[in-house]
Amino acid sequence: MHVLRNGTVVDADGAREADVAIEAGEIVAVGDVGRGDTETDVTGQFVAPGLVDTHVHLMMDGRPDVATAQSESRYDHAYIAAENLRAAVEAGVTTVRDLGGPESMALDAAAAVEDGRIPGPRVLAACENVVMTGGHGHWFGREADGPDEVRKAVREQLKRGADVVKCMATGGVLTEGAVTGAPELTREEIEALVDAAAAKGVPTAAHAHGKEGLLNAVEAGISSIEHGTFMDREAAAAMADAGTYWVPTAAALRNIVENPDAGIPESTMAKARDAAESFDSSFDHTAAEGVSVAMGTDAGTPFNHFENIPDEMEYMVEGGMSEREALEAATVNAADLCGLDDVGRVADGYRADLVVLDDDPLSDAAAWQDPVHVFSGGDQVV
Write the CATH number for 130: 3.20.20.140
Domain assignment present for residue 176? The answer is yes
Q: Are residues 161 and 296 in the same domain?
A: yes
CA distances for 80 relative to 57, 69, 94, angstroms: 10, 11, 18
Domain assignment present for residue 375? The answer is yes
pLDDT tens string 48-95:
999 999 999 999 999 999 999 999 999 999 999 999 999 999 999 999
Q: Are residues 227 and 374 in the same domain?
A: no
3-state secondary structure of 214: helix
Give the CA angle between residues 376, 99, 214 to the nearest 5°.
130
Once rounded to an integer, what is the mean pLDDT over residues 316-330? 98
Is 310:263 a contact under the CB 8 Å cutoff?
Answer: no
Least confident stretch, 67-71, 160-164, 196-200: 67-71
Q: Are residues 41 and 102 in the same domain?
A: no
Write the CATH number for 26: 2.30.40.10
Q: Are residues 144 and 276 in the same domain?
A: yes
Domain assignment present for residue 60? The answer is yes
Q: Are residues 88 and 237 in the same domain?
A: yes
Per-residue confidence at 240, pLDDT binned at 50, 70, 90?
A: very high
Once rounded to an integer, what is the mean pLDDT over residues 90-117? 97
Domain assignment present for residue 261? The answer is yes
Domain assignment present for residue 364? The answer is yes
Per-residue confidence at 241, pLDDT binned at 50, 70, 90?
A: very high
CA distances for 256 relative to 271, 274, 350, angstroms: 10, 12, 37
Q: Are residues 252 and 122 in the same domain?
A: yes
pLDDT tens string 332-353:
999 999 999 999 999 999 999 9
> How far is Cα 271 from Cα 282, in angstroms, rounded to an integer?
17
Query: What is the secondary structure of 12-74 as a DSSP string?
Result: TTEEEEEEEEEETTEEEEEES----SEEEE-TT-EEEEPEEEEEE-TT----S-GGGGGGS-H
> How far is Cα 1 from Cα 368, in angstroms, rounded to an integer?
26
Per-residue confidence at 236, pLDDT binned at 50, 70, 90?
A: very high
Q: Are residues 249 and 294 in the same domain?
A: yes
Out of 254, 283, 309, pick the residue that ends a domain: 309
Percent of the chain with pLDDT over 90: 98
319: CB partners within 8 A, 6+ apart: 248, 250, 280, 282, 283
Is 320:287 a contact under the CB 8 Å cutoff?
Answer: yes
Look at residue 120 in the predicted model and tell me its pLDDT: 98
Look at residue 127 in the predicted model and tell me its pLDDT: 97
> How far is Cα 263 from Cα 246, in angstroms, rounded to an integer?
30
The identity of residue 101, as a single letter, is G
Q: 293 lies in which domain range?
A: 51-309
Look at residue 166 in the predicted model and tell me its pLDDT: 98
For the chain, how many structural domains are there in total? 2
Look at residue 244 in the predicted model and tell me its pLDDT: 98
Per-residue confidence at 43, pLDDT binned at 50, 70, 90?
A: very high
Q: Are residues 62 and 37 in the same domain?
A: no
For 85, phi then psi, to 5°, come to: -65, -45
Out of 293, 309, 325, pick the residue that ends a domain: 309
Look at residue 183 in the predicted model and tell me its pLDDT: 97
Once rounded to an integer, what is the mean pLDDT over residues 277-283? 94
Is 277:35 a contact under the CB 8 Å cutoff?
Answer: no
Look at residue 349 in the predicted model and tell me its pLDDT: 97
Look at residue 262 in the predicted model and tell me its pLDDT: 96
Out of 287, 309, 331, pick the residue that ends a domain: 309
Which residues are bridge partners to 26 per DSSP? 23, 351
Domain assignment present for residue 335? The answer is no
Look at residue 303 in the predicted model and tell me its pLDDT: 98
Q: Are residues 41 and 57 in the same domain?
A: no
pLDDT tens string 7-40:
999 999 999 999 999 999 999 999 999 999 999 9
Per-residue confidence at 216, pLDDT binned at 50, 70, 90?
A: very high
Whole-structure pTM value:
0.97
3-state secondary structure of 165: strand
Q: Are residues 40 and 81 in the same domain?
A: no
CB atoms within 10 A of CB 233: 13
Cβ burial, residue 23 (10 Å; 0-12/13-18/19+): middle
Q: Are residues 18 and 74 in the same domain?
A: no
Per-residue confidence at 191, pLDDT binned at 50, 70, 90?
A: very high
Q: Are residues 42 and 64 in the same domain?
A: no
Domain assignment present for residue 316? The answer is no
Cβ burial, residue 209 (10 Å; 0-12/13-18/19+): buried
Per-residue confidence at 242, pLDDT binned at 50, 70, 90?
A: very high
Look at residue 334 in the predicted model and tell me its pLDDT: 98
Per-residue confidence at 326, pLDDT binned at 50, 70, 90?
A: very high
Look at residue 274 in the predicted model and tell me its pLDDT: 94
Look at residue 69 in the predicted model and tell me its pLDDT: 93
Domain assignment present for residue 322? The answer is no
> β-pairing, 93-98 with 122-125?
parallel
